[in-house]
């Protein structure tokens, strides 16, 4: 049995291609030898998805990896915005800043740093930017 995500993807493809029920079941029978998407296995689901792509369906790209930006309280928004700008200029994700917080302060996430620690992390990012040719 295939995952709910793959099953949903097949039904989305069917809908976006505008396939009627008879056409859809004919494709399943021809490509995978089944009459229902629930009967698909992990071995033959790829063939069905490939067939839908051949017919013109383009899957939606996967979500961008990484985490959301922190939502700091108003008192820390300016410093957090500067940290975000430094990360963006360097082409680094928030996970990089989280790693710095872990190494510098043994705290898992930037969100959890106190004001002094956040200020020091920002200064470290400025130094890093200057080392790598940024303007900080």
Looking at the fold, whether 46 and 89 belong to one and the same domain comes out as no
Domain count, the chain: 2
- Is 66 part of any domain? no
Q: Is residue 67 part of a domain?
A: no
C-alpha distances out from residue 35 to 4, 13, 21, 114, Å: 17, 16, 11, 59
Same domain, 50 and 80: no
Q: What is the pLDDT of residues 23-64, one digit of tens each?
A: 999 999 999 999 999 999 888 998 999 999 999 998 877 665
User: Is residue 80 over pLDDT 90?
Assistant: yes
> Residue 17 sits in which domain range?
4-54
Quick check: is 44 in a domain?
yes
Residues 49 and 89 in one domain: no
Residues 84 and 112 in one domain: yes
Whether 65 has a pLDDT exceeding 80, the answer reads: no
Residues 50 and 78 in one domain: no
pLDDT score at 18: 93
> Given this model, what pLDDT does residue 62 score?
63
């Amino acid at each position: 049995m295939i995952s709910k995500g793959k099953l949903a993807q097949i039904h989305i493809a069917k809908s976006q291609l505008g396939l009627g029920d008879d056409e859809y079941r004919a494709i399943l029978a021809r490509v995978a030898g089944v009459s229902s998407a629930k009967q698909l296995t992990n071995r033959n689901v790829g063939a069905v998805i490939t067939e839908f792509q051949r017919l013109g369906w383009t899957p939606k790209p996967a979500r961008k990896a990484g985490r959301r930006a922190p939502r700091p309280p108003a008192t820390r928004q300016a410093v957090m915005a500067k940290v975000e700008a430094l990360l963006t200029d360097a082409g680094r994700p928030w996970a990089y800043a989280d790693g710095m917080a872990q190494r510098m302060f043994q705290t898992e996430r930037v969100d959890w740093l106190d004001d002094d620690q956040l200020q020091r992390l920002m200064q470290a990012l400025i130094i890093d930017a200057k080392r790598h040719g940024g303007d900080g």
